[in-house]
Amino acid sequence: MENQVKTAGSLSGKTVVLLGGTSGIGLATAMAAAKEGAKVVIVSGNRQRVDNALQQLPEGSEGYAVDLSKEQNIKNFFEGIGNFDHLVYTAGENLTLRNIAETEISDARNFFNLRFWGAFAAVKYGVLNINAGGSICLTSGIASMRPGVGWSMGSSICGAMEGFVRAMAVELAPIRVNSVVPGVIKTNLWGSMTETDRENLYKVVGDSLLVKRVGEAEDVAQTFLYLMKQQFGTGQNIVVDGGTVLV
């Protein structure tokens, strides 16, 4: 039994499908999984980003351009991809902070399309292809626990995602369903800010944290690897935030 657990916990020879795997946390996770012997399949809405990411991944990696904001595209993708072992969803557009008085409801609905409904559709259609012992790993954020002013949309999505993870862990068992809950991470998520504002954010937040820095994409990638490799945890939303929720 011990040897079976060790074998099951390895990514060597496994196939990992990463939706949103061409930049930031998604690409870092793809690179980390490939380093551990997994075949990686990356998906993004932009063909150029897919090609650029493939140049950083080992030979044999695959990449597809798919508009993940549309359910039919996600359905078609999974119908053609074949079986795999782990599904990772990190897709999301740049973050926009806006007070509720200034928020158009239609914009709020659209913000859910890629981050939440895209993940919902990926689980709905992707689960049919997941091999025994496989897993689903989604992405939330600490805005669900520690929202600030202007975080109505972001906090709502994170809270919805964490509830979805728990529900899917029950419904899709024995497939394991978990999420990673990052704090402030240096990625293109903050690309809508000016460089000065972005660096100031990293400095102010980093100085306030217990670990005295903001996170890197590679920090979060290691958590995705853990959730894929471990065999006993499901329905969990794992916080990786440098201690943000404690300060």
Instruction: Name the token pair of 133.
Output: 């012992």
Q: CB-based contacts of 123: which residues, under 8 Å, 6+ apart? A: 87, 89, 136, 138, 164, 168, 172, 177
Least confident piece of the model among 35-49, 83-97, 166-180: 83-97
- The total number of structural domains in the chain stands at 1
- Domain membership flag for residue 76: yes
- Domain membership flag for residue 247: no
Average pLDDT over residues 78-94: 93
CA proximity to 214, closest of 194, 232, 187: 187
Residue 191: band (very low, low, confident or very high) from pLDDT cuts 50, 70, 90: low
Average pLDDT over residues 195-210: 86
Question: Is residue 87 a contact partner of residue 130, using CB atoms and an 8 Å limit?
Answer: yes
Alpha-carbon gap, residue 247 to 240, rounded angstroms: 14
Query: Using only C-alpha atoms, what is the Rg of the chain?
Result: 17
- Domain range for residue 201? 2-242
Question: Is residue 122 a contact partner of residue 50, using CB atoms and an 8 Å limit?
Answer: no
Question: Is residue 167 a contact partner of residue 42, using CB atoms and an 8 Å limit?
Answer: no
Residue 202: band (very low, low, confident or very high) from pLDDT cuts 50, 70, 90: confident
Q: Is the peptide bond before 174 cis (omega within 30 degrees of 0)?
A: yes
pLDDT at 8 over 60: no
Least confident piece of the model among 56-65, 199-208, 227-236: 199-208
Question: Is residue 176 a contact partner of residue 133, using CB atoms and an 8 Å limit?
Answer: no
pLDDT at 15 over 90: yes
- Domain membership flag for residue 170: yes
Instruction: Name the token pair of 140.
Output: 């939330």
Alpha-carbon gap, residue 224 to 222, rounded angstroms: 5
Q: Work out whether the CA dihedral 65, 229, 238, 84 comes out positive or negative.
A: positive
Q: What's residue 6's pLDDT? A: 47
Task: Give the CATH number for residue 84.
Answer: 3.40.50.720
pLDDT at 184 over 90: no
What are the beta bridge partners of residue 42? 18, 63
- Domain membership flag for residue 117: yes
Give the Cβ contact number of residue 62 at 10 Å: 15
Q: What's residue 147's pLDDT? A: 86
120 φ/ψ angles, rounded to the nearest 5 degrees: -60, -50
